[in-house]
Amino acid sequence: MKLKVREVEQSDLILLFDWVNDPLTREMDFNPEPIPLEIHEEWFRTLPESGKYQIIVDGLHQNKWIPVGQVRVNDDGRISMSIAPQFRGQRLATPVIEAAMAYIRENTDIRVLIADIKQENTRSAKAFQKAGFRYVDSRNVKGKVWNKYTYVMS
């Protein structure tokens, strides 16, 4: 699938709200509790001055550009991503990560990316590793093991 990267737009508010509250997304997050709309709206409103890069990756699907995933990168290089539920299992995670990495490389001064991935989230770990991330170490957070992966921009 052909992909293109864009910055988040106001019209993406509910899309991102739905994605962040997807049951699998919640299960793989540090905090598995659903996020209330009011909290999401506040986060979205403050996004421009937050030092975070929120990226939407659109895919060309049936001759139409539609959102297939999102990637967030904090100013400290912490990266997270998710694929739209209807596009999971289509091997898009690595290309989405790589597209976001190219955007970050070209548009920011961030040179080291850090992905914290729940140990049981093997699909995400494989996607980041295929994108060039390397395992660094593990730690326990709230009774769950999280693996840390890094990527140094060239």
Strand pairing partners for 53? 73
Q: How many CA atoms lie within 13 A of 38 on its CB side?
A: 0
Q: Centre a 10 Å sphere on the Cβ of residue 45 and count the other Cβ atoms it contains.
A: 12
- The mean pLDDT value for 43-67 works out to 94
Q: Centre a 10 Å sphere on the Cβ of residue 39 and count the other Cβ atoms it contains.
A: 11
Strand pairing partners for 78? 114
- Residue 142: per-residue pLDDT: 80
Specify the number of domains making up the chain: 1
Task: Label the pairing between strands 144-152 and 112-118.
Answer: antiparallel
Residue 138 has pLDDT above 90, yes or no: yes
State CA 71 to chain mean position distance: 3
Average model confidence (pLDDT) across the chain:
95
Range of 111's domain?
A: 3-152
- The mean pLDDT value for 59-69 works out to 96
Strands (DSSP E) contained in the chain are: 3-7, 52-61, 64-74, 79-83, 112-118, 134-141, 144-152
Residue 36 has pLDDT above 90, yes or no: yes
Q: Looking at residue 64, which CATH number applies to its domain?
A: 3.40.630.30
- Residue 16: per-residue pLDDT: 97
Which tokens belong to 67?
């959102």
Strand pairing partners for 66? 59
Distance CA 22, CA 83 (A): 10
Give the contacts of 38 (CB within 8 A, at least 6 positions apart): none
Q: Centre a 10 Å sphere on the Cβ of residue 55 and count the other Cβ atoms it contains.
A: 22
